[in-house]
Amino acid sequence: MLKKIFSSYNTFLFSLLVSRVGDALYTFAIPWISYELTQSALIMGTIYAISVLPILLFGPIVGVLVDKWDRKNLMLLADVLRAVLISLIPLFHFMNILQIWHLYVISFALTILSLLFDVTIITVIPNIIKQSTGKKLTTANAAFQLVNQLADIIGPILAGFLIAIIGGFNILWIDVISFCLTFLAILKLPNLGKNSGETNIRSIYKDMKEGLMWLLKDRLNLSFSLQAMVGNLGYSTVYAVLMFYLLSSLQLDENQISLNYALLGTGGVLGSFIVVPLERVLRRGILIPMLLLIGTIGFAYAIVSDFWLAPGISLGLVATCNVAWNTLVMTVRQESVPKLMLGRVLSFSRVFTRLAMPLGALLGVYVADHFHPGGVFIVAGIAKGIEVVIALLSPIRRL
Distance CA 397, CA 377 (A): 27
Q: What angle do CA 38, 354, 42 make, to 5 degrees?
A: 15
Q: Smallest Cα–Cα separation from 272: which of 318, 324, 205, 347?
A: 324
Res 355 pLDDT > 50: yes
* Band of residue 395 on the pLDDT scale cut at 50, 70, 90: very high
Own/partner pairs, 110-113, CB within 8 angstroms, 24+ separation: 110/82, 110/85, 110/86, 111/50, 111/51, 111/52, 111/53, 111/54, 111/55, 112/54, 112/58, 112/62, 113/78, 113/81, 113/82, 113/85
Residue among 315, 322, 308, 317 nearest 275 (CA) = 322
CA dihedral 68, 72, 77, 78 (to 10 degrees): 90
Q: Which of 264, 247, 379, 386 is nearest to 317 (CA)?
A: 264
Q: Are the C-beta atoms of 329 and 224 separated by less than 8 Å?
A: yes
Chain-centroid distance, C-alpha 126 = 19
Residue-wise pLDDT for 74-123, tens only, equals 888 888 999 999 999 889 988 888 888 888 888 888 888 888 888 888 78
What are the pLDDT digits (tens) for 256-294? 776 777 787 788 888 888 888 888 888 888 999 999 999
Q: Is the pLDDT of residue 40 over 80?
A: no
**By C-alpha distance, which of 212, 147, 213, 157 is closest to 182?**
147
Burial pattern 229-249, b for ≥16 Cβ within 10 A else e, equals: bbbbbbbbbbbbbbeebbeee
Let me know: does 150 contact 18? Beta carbons within 8 Å.
no
DSSP characters over 252-285: --HHHHHHHHHHHHHHHHHHHHHHHHHHHHS-HH
CA terminus-to-terminus distance, the chain? 25
Q: Phi first, then psi: what are they for 194, rounded to 5°?
A: -155, 165
Q: What is the rounded radius of gyration, in angstroms, for the C-alpha atoms of the chain? A: 21
- The reported pLDDT for the residue numbered 201 is 63
| Tens of pLDDT, residues 146-164 | 887 788 777 767 776 777 7
Q: How far apart are CA 105 and CA 370, in angstroms?
A: 35
pTM to 2 decimal places = 0.75
